[in-house]
């Protein structure tokens, strides 16, 4: 049986009191004021501090709804069906589910993305960057004051083969990406590659640590090398992962520097399952039936290894693929 998709979207004029526009998608409504984002739906409402909401919204937009579930917090979020997306309130909250207060609607991905992009653009003030670590940007508080379109329209790096190969995503340089304040000690030398004639476009290498030291965003995995469905997605992390990511596939983490602490919870109920402390050189795997959120006091480097196959969620749902990488 096909799912009925919500198609209604709306944008209200700027508020006389705050200067911000309101937004609607299906029967969900969104408003913000100086300090809070307010979400409403039939029979319920939810309030989030605007800094938490904006950082989560920015990732959902930049990631294209990502793999699986993006929990903005313990109540609100989205589920990616790859072409369609569910927006929910209380879907993965045990108390909401038991009380019958959860609510969700399904949309074409492009329709909901257009609403989210317009919202993050209108609700981001001049001087504030929801992609940046808190110590690197201004604040989101207060009435409407300009915008920061350059920050919220960054394009996520998605190499076709590998960073630095001819015609692919270029390496980062001082002209475009200065070295981050916390990675000033990272060596910037690049490997020397001497390819046989005729293989110049097929053989390459780059300094991954130098590349990550120049990242201007946090918690935004970039696709830096691709072999069929195998994706290496390194990223720099500081402060808190702005969402609880609910996996729909196994996901490998390789800690390249410093330290990240992960809270791991049951995907459906949110009950705690583990706390994982990863230090440089550690490798961990996040199963497909959990949600996770990380904390990094010092800016750190993390390699996320993804299987990008669109078949995996269905295989797991049918019991044909495991939710863990290995059984002991």
pLDDT digits (tens, 9 = 90+) for 118-127: 999 999 999 9
Q: 275 and 290 in contact (C-beta within 8 Å)?
A: no
Q: Say whether pLDDT at 242 is over 70.
A: yes
pLDDT at 2: 58
pTM for this predicted structure: 0.95
Q: Which of 44-48, 96-100, 195-199, 324-328 has the lowest mean pLDDT?
A: 324-328
| Cα 297 to Cα 142: distance, rounded to the nearest angstrom | 27
Q: Say whether pLDDT at 253 is over 90.
A: yes
- pLDDT-derived band of residue 180, with 50, 70 and 90 as boundaries? very high
| Cα 308 to Cα 227: distance, rounded to the nearest angstrom | 10
Angle made by CA atoms 227, 156, 119, in degrees to the nearest 5: 145
Q: 159 and 234 in contact (C-beta within 8 Å)?
A: no
pLDDT at 47: 98
The structural domains of the chain, with segments of one domain joined by +, span 9-151, 157-216+218-317
Each residue of 259-283: pLDDT tens digit?
999 999 999 999 999 999 999 999 9
Q: Say whether pLDDT at 247 is over 90.
A: yes
3-class DSSP string for the chain:
CCCCCCCCEEECCCCCCCCCCCEEECCEEEEECCCEEEEEECCEEEEEEHHHHHHHHHHHHHCCCCCCEEECCCCEEEEECCCEEEEEECCCCHHHHHHCCCEEEEEEHHHHHHHHHHHHHHHCCCCCCCCCCHHHCCCCCCCCCCCCHHHHCCCCCECCCECCCCCCCCCCCCCCCCCCHHHCCCCCCCCCCCCCCCCCCCCCCCCHHHHHHCCCCCCCCCECEEECCEEEEEEEEEEECCCEEECCCCEEEEECCCEEEEEEEECCCCCEEEEEEEECCCEEEECCCEEEEEEEEEEEEEEEEEECCCCHHHHHHCCCCCCCCCCC
Q: Say whether pLDDT at 215 is over 80.
A: yes
- pLDDT-derived band of residue 1, with 50, 70 and 90 as boundaries? very low
Quickly tell me which residue has 């409402």 as its tokens.
45
Q: Say whether pLDDT at 77 is over 80.
A: yes
| Cα 75 to Cα 28: distance, rounded to the nearest angstrom | 14
CATH (residue range 157-216+218-317): 2.60.120.10
Phi and psi (nearest 5°) for 88?
A: -135, 160
Torsion of CA 295, 296, 301, 304, to 10 degrees: 0
- pLDDT-derived band of residue 301, with 50, 70 and 90 as boundaries? very high
The average confidence (pLDDT) of the chain is 96
- pLDDT-derived band of residue 327, with 50, 70 and 90 as boundaries? confident
């Amino acid at each position: 049986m096909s799912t009925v998709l919500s198609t209604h979207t709306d944008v209200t004029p700027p508020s006389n009191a705050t200067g911000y526009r309101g937004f609607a998608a299906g029967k969900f409504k969104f408003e913000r004021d100086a300090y809070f984002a307010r979400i409403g739906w039939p029979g319920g409402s939810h309030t989030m501090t605007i800094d938490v909401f904006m950082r989560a919204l920015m990732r959902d937009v930049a990631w294209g709804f990502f793999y699986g579930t993006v929990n903005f917090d313990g109540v609100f979020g989205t589920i990616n069906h790859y072409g369609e997306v569910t927006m929910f309130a209380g879907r993965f909250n045990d108390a909401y589910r038991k009380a019958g207060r959860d609510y969700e609607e399904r949309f074409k991905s492009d329709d909901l993305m257009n609403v989210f992009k317009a919202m993050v653009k209108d609700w981001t003030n001049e001087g504030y960057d929801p992609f940046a670590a808190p110590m690197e940007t201004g604040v989101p508080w207060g009435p409407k004051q300009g915008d920061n379109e350059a920050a919220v329209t960054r394009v996520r790096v998605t190499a076709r083969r590998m960073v630095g190969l001819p015609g692919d995503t270029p390496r980062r340089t001082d002209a475009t990406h200065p070295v981050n304040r916390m990675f000033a000690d990272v060596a910037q030398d690049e490997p020397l590659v001497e390819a046989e004639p005729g293989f110049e476009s097929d053989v390459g290498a780059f300094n991954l640590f130098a590349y990550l030291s120049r990242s201007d965003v946090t918690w935004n995995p970039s696709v830096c090398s691709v072999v069929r469905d195998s994706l290496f997605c390194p990223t720099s992390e500081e402060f808190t992962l702005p969402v609880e990511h609910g996996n729909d596939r196994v996901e490998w983490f390789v800690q390249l520097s410093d330290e990240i602490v992960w809270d791991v919870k049951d995907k459906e109920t949110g009950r705690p399952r583990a706390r994982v402390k990863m230090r440089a050189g550690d490798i961990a795997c996040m199963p497909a039936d959990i949600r996770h959120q990380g904390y990094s006091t010092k800016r750190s480097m993390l390699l996320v290894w993804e299987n990008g196959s669109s078949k995996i969620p269905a295989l797991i749902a049918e019991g044909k693929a495991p939710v863990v990488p290995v059984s002991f």
